[in-house]
Amino acid sequence: MFGVTLRRVLRHLAFEHGAMRGLYIRFCRPAGSEYAGFLRKWGGLHTVGEHCEINYGAVFTDPAYVSIGSNVVLADCTLIGHDGSIAMLNRAYGVKLDAVGKIVINDNVFIGHGAIVLPGVTIGPNAIVAAGAVVTRNVEAGLIVGGVPAIPISSVAERVQRLQKETSLLPWAEVIRNREGGFDAALEPELLRQRVLHFFPNR
């Protein structure tokens, strides 16, 4: 009971006042959609569209320079808005330099775990950045990019077609067809049971 009350209080303080952010994340462990709502209000981002999901492990070094469209999903990735070497260069060379850039993420974009997006990059729309990729240049609409530095791998449309075919052949395809959205609490236990049985049939 105390834990429920604590989480309720922390959520209230976070959403109404932008306070206790660290404790809110630590004890509430917000889902991506909830955390996107928090960031929309208190994250300092230039814009955050509708129907976004942002993991609380995502890092924005310069949130004011970041614009996020609608239906964007960010895993634990890092968006960097400035060149961190500038302070060292200014002291070492007796100069006064600046190197910052905006990051624009258009609608319908997924950025995977461990990916890094550098300053001055525009992504999408309808694009995917693979896990671990380092994005140094713009990502064209409809492409999947991966690697270091990130390069095109295929189109999102091709991946959707391939996944449609593969999904139709899964033992739990019927459960997927009946699922509401990407997560359906009512069907998850059965989905988990079927997947585990398929992956580990002898255990």
Beta strands in the chain (DSSP E): 47-48, 53-54, 59-60, 66-68, 72-74, 78-79, 103-105, 109-111, 116-117, 122-123, 127-129, 134-135, 143-146, 151-155
pLDDT at 175 over 80: yes
Pairing mode, strands 66-68 and 122-123 = unpaired
Average pLDDT, the chain: 94
Token duo for residue 25? 């994340």
pLDDT digits (tens, 9 = 90+) for 112-170: 999 999 999 999 999 999 999 999 999 999 999 999 999 999 999 999 999 999 999 99
pLDDT at 48 over 90: yes
The CB-based long-range contact list for 152-161 (8 Å cut-off, 24+ gap) reads 156/126, 156/127, 156/128, 159/128
Put residue 5 in one of left, alpha, beta given phi > 0 → left and psi -120 to 50 → alpha.
Answer: alpha
Contacts for 119 with CB less than 8 Å, ≥ 6 apart: 65, 80, 81, 82, 83, 99, 100, 101, 102, 103
Judge if 139 and 81 occupy the same domain. yes
Q: Distance (Å, rounded) from C-alpha 58 to C-alpha 203?
A: 36
Q: Residue 185 — pLDDT band, cuts 50, 70, 90?
A: confident
Contacts for 111 with CB less than 8 Å, ≥ 6 apart: 72, 73, 74, 75, 77, 105, 117, 123, 128, 129
Number of domains in the chain: 3
Judge if 43 and 127 occupy the same domain. yes
Q: What is the pLDDT of residue 181?
A: 76
Judge if 55 and 139 occupy the same domain. yes
- The catalytic position among 12, 46, 51, 82 is 82
pLDDT at 1 over 70: no
Judge if 68 and 125 occupy the same domain. yes
**Pick from 131, 135, 132, 160: which is nearest to 149 by CA?**
135
Q: State the CATH number of the domain containing residue 39.
A: 2.160.10.10
Q: Whole domain around residue 183: which residue ranges?
A: 170-203
Q: Distance (Å, rounded) from C-alpha 105 to C-alpha 138?
A: 10
Judge if 134 and 195 occupy the same domain. no
Q: What is the pLDDT of residue 186?
A: 87
**Pick from 64, 3, 65, 69: which is nearest to 54 by CA?**
69
Judge if 81 and 16 occupy the same domain. no
Residue 163 within any structural domain of the chain: no
Q: Residue 102 — pLDDT band, cuts 50, 70, 90?
A: very high
Reply yes or no on whether 82 is catalytic: yes
Q: What is the pLDDT of residue 2?
A: 67
Q: What is the pLDDT of residue 123?
A: 98
pLDDT digits (tens, 9 = 90+) for 58-95: 999 999 999 999 999 999 999 999 999 999 999 999 99
Read off the pTM: 0.90
Residue 162 within any structural domain of the chain: no
Percent share of the chain, pLDDT over 90: 87
